[in-house]
Amino acid sequence: MTEIKVLIVDDHAMFREGIRALLKSYDDIVIVGEATQGMEAIEKVHQLTPHVVLMDIAMPVMGGLEATRHIQKATPMVKVLVLTQYQDSEYILSLIRAGAKGYIAKTATASELVTAIRTVFKGESYLYPNAASTLIEEYLSQAGDKKSEYERLSDREREVLQLVAEGQTNQEIADKLFISVKTVLRHRTSVMEKLGFHNRTELIKYAISKGLIEVPGKVE
């Protein structure tokens, strides 16, 4: 049986002791060390080479988010499993972007924690059920926002969007729509602002994704 070496990172001694007590009955999990904040965690990772780091978020000196970034950059083979009381989507998304392989709430049971440790050890991602629900809701919300942004465009703005994406100049668009170049620029600026774009490349990609123009070189 392969032993999973675990480093516990939390600034509360009683909590670290509790984790040790929870995990001591599992033969495949070995606690190799503890750290009380992010800087110490980075040092212990280099000294002890754990397989999995149980990482808290809110700690003095250096928090778990920054420590996770450092660990993943220097030792990407080490898996960070975040164990925290924070459960909102902003924290979870930030942790995933920082390189954490998993997230589990401090309210989880011992068996759930062990499952999470074993899962990330194998290189898979683990999300506590409430976190998965939160991320799905966040994704659906963002998807809905994108849809509503397009629907907020006026018919004229949609025409300008398509013609700009097709590569037509402001003068060509003005001539085709029988409006002034100044009006074209106003519509173009409004489209960019409503969709949150900063350049024509982003606009073209969006137009392709919406099926407003064909992908260059695509054969039907």
Domain identity same for 26 and 92? yes
Residue numbers of the domain that contains 107:
4-136
Burial of 217 (0-12, 13-18, 19+ CB in 10 A): exposed
- CA dihedral (185, 190, 193, 199) in degrees, to 10, reads -30
Domain identity same for 99 and 164? no
Q: Which of the listed residues 136, 170, 194 is the one where a domain comes to its end?
A: 136
Q: Which of the listed residues 136, 170, 188 is the one where a domain comes to its end?
A: 136
Within a domain: 216: no
Taking only the tens of pLDDT, the chain with its 220 residues reads 689 999 999 999 999 999 999 999 999 999 999 999 999 999 999 999 999 999 998 888 898 989 999 999 999 999 999 988 776 666 677 788 888 998 898 888 999 999 999 999 999 988 877 665 556 555 555 555 555 577 778 889 889 998 988 888 999 999 999 999 999 999 998 888 888 888 888 888 888 877 777 654 443 3
**Buried-exposed string 91-110: b where 16+ CB fall within 10 A, e elsewhere:** bbeebbebbbbbbbbeebee
Q: What are 189's two structure tokens? A: 């600026």
Within a domain: 217: no
Q: Are strands 29-35 and 79-84 parallel, antiparallel or unpaired?
A: unpaired
Within a domain: 143: no
Within a domain: 120: yes
Domain identity same for 23 and 113? yes
| Whether the Cβ atoms of residue 85 and residue 106 lie closer than 8 Å to each other | yes
Number of domains in the chain: 2
Within a domain: 144: no
| Whether the Cβ atoms of residue 190 and residue 152 lie closer than 8 Å to each other | no
Within a domain: 142: no
Q: Which of the listed residues 83, 104, 136 is the one where a domain comes to its end?
A: 136
